[in-house]
Amino acid sequence: MKFLRLFSLLLAGLPICRAQQPGQKNALVQLRESVPLMASEGNSAVRPQVDEAIAKSLNTFFELLAKNQIDKAYEHLILGTKIAEQTKDVATLRSKTQQAIQVFGEVRGHELIGVKSVGTHLLAATYLSVGRDFPLRWRFYFYRADGPWKLVDIRVDDRLMDMFDERAPMKNAEPASEK
């Protein structure tokens, strides 16, 4: 498992950008639709949603990963961005993704597991890739000043515990006494 943690550290933090297509909805409508709803008593949970252009772009990305077309997946994701000019960072991300597929198994699917917004200009979409042997968490960060959402950062890791917001127990905590 030491390699898994090293892989998580190596993959985290490489920025990737993707320009979105014109024809977006009003920013407030779009944000309201993209915020995940929590299940309340008597209601079932509503799945989180993102803007249609974001969903289409990320679905294509994961579909290409599932076909083991990693280079093409990243070319699609960074098409038309300044970050595409940072070839060394993109090459590292591609290489680490290939290693992840070899270690965790081929990508067999993906699902959107969370959406968070900060104001009306920043949005994070968290996806889970379903691997043959192990899932990975992918976090995509989007920014929009005017016009379409643009992917400004991507992070991937295997820290499943973080998906459940579990905290490590306190080191100096006393064990519970038995009665």
For residue 140, give the amino acid letter.
Answer: F
- Residue 134 and residue 132: Cα distance in Å, rounded? 6
In which element (H, E) is residue 138 found?
A: strand 136-143
pLDDT of residue 80: 66
| Rounded distance between C-alpha atoms, residue 98 and residue 100, angstroms | 5
Could you tell me the domains of the chain?
A: 2-35+49-155 (3.10.450)
- Walk along the chain (179 residues) in steps of 10 and give the mean pLDDT of each run: 40 40 40 38 63 93 96 89 79 92 92 93 95 93 88 87 67 45
> What's residue 19's pLDDT?
38
Instruction: Give residue 48's pLDDT.
Output: 82
pLDDT at 37: 38
d(CA 123, CA 49): 12
Cα 99 to Cα 77: distance, rounded to the nearest angstrom = 19
CB atoms within 10 A of CB 74: 22
3-class DSSP assignment, residue 168: coil
Q: How far is CA 148 from the centre of its chain?
A: 19
Task: Write down the pLDDT at residue 169.
Answer: 52
Q: Contacts from 143-150 at CB under 8 Å and sequence distance 24+?
A: 144/27, 144/120, 145/121, 147/20, 147/22, 147/24, 148/19, 148/20, 148/21, 148/22, 148/24, 148/53, 149/20, 149/24, 149/51, 149/53, 149/54, 149/123, 150/17, 150/18, 150/19, 150/20, 150/81
pLDDT of res. 36: 40
> Quick one: pLDDT at residue 24?
43
Q: Which two tokens stand for residue 6?
A: 């090293």
User: Using one digit for the tens of pLDDT, what is the confidence trace for 78-91?
Assistant: 886 666 778 898 89
Tokens (6 digits) for 75: 């070319």
